[in-house]
């Protein structure tokens, strides 16, 4: 005989005759269900532990993410400062390059002026040498002129001039 489930549901206190095999099957099914329930509970507990671990990891990850974002923000500020400094350095570099170019140009102008100065110095030395020669020539001409004047005076007085007297006059001595 099978279990009359409808009768059992209507009157749970009613008695029924059941073969032992049905009870053993029922007991086996109950044991399987209980075992399955225990497995599911263990699985649920494991899943709950995994969920708790995941929530902890998520919370840690969120705080780590906040730290990373704060660090990234600080790095961004540092990068901005470095960019500004880089621009200043670039501007200073351009200024220095301009100053170098200006200095190079001034050095070239200085070299050119120095060359011209040496040319003028050489020209001045040439002119000074010429002036010295002209001065000597003038002095010689003056002394010759003085000599001619003396010769003329002597000739007026004497009427003639001997060779010895001419030599004395050339040497600058008086007769």
Annotate 42-110 with three-state secondary structure. Answer: HHHHHHHHHHHHHHHHHHHHHHHHHHHHHHHHHHHHHHHHHHHHHHHHHHHHHHHHHHHHHHHHHHHHH
Interval 3-36: pLDDT, tens: 788 888 898 888 888 888 888 988 999 999 999 9
The domain total for the chain is: 1
Q: Report yes or no: 166 and 172 within 8 Å, Cβ to Cβ.
A: no
Number of Cβ atoms within 10 Å of the Cβ of 23: 11
Residue 35 forms part of a structural domain:
yes
Residue 144 forms part of a structural domain:
yes
Residue 145 forms part of a structural domain:
yes
Q: Report yes or no: 169 and 147 within 8 Å, Cβ to Cβ.
A: yes
Cα–Cα distances in angstroms (integers) from residue 54 to residues 47, 50, 153, in the given order: 10, 6, 141
- Distance, in Å, from the CA atom of 4 to the CA atom of 18, rounded to the nearest integer, reads 9
Residue 13 forms part of a structural domain:
yes
CA dihedral 78, 83, 84, 90 (to 10 degrees): 150
Average pLDDT of every residue of the chain: 88
Residue 36 forms part of a structural domain:
yes
Residue 175 forms part of a structural domain:
no
- Distance, in Å, from the CA atom of 33 to the CA atom of 35, rounded to the nearest integer, reads 5
- Distance, in Å, from the CA atom of 4 to the CA atom of 25, rounded to the nearest integer, reads 15
Interval 56-110: pLDDT, tens: 999 999 999 999 999 999 999 999 999 999 999 999 999 999 999 999 999 999 9
1 contact partners, CB below 8 Å, separation of at least 6: 16, 17, 18, 19
Residue numbers of the domain that contains 91: 5-170
pTM above 0.85, yes or no: no
Query: Buried b / exposed e across 116-135, counting CB within 10 Å, b at 16+?
Result: eeeeeeeeeeeeeeeeeeee
């Amino acid at each position: 005989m099978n279990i009359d489930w409808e009768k059992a549901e209507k009157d749970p206190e009613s008695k029924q005759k059941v073969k032992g095999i049905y009870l053993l099957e029922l007991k086996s099914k109950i044991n399987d269900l209980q075992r399955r329930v225990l497995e599911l509970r263990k699985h649920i507990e494991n899943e709950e532990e995994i969920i708790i671990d995941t929530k902890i990891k998520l919370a840690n990850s969120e705080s780590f993410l906040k730290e990373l974002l704060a660090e990234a923000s600080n790095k961004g500020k540092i990068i901005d400062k470095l960019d500004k400094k880089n621009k200043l350095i670039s501007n200073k570099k351009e200024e220095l390059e301009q100053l170098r170019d200006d200095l190079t140009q001034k050095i070239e102008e200085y070299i050119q002026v120095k060359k011209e100065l040496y040319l003028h110095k050489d020209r001045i030395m040439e002119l000074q040498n010429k002036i010295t020669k002209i001065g000597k020539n003038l002095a010689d001409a003056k002394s010759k002129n003085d000599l001619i004047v003396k010769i003329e005076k002597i000739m007026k007085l004497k009427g003639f001039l001997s060779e010895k007297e001419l030599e004395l006059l050339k040497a600058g001595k008086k007769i």
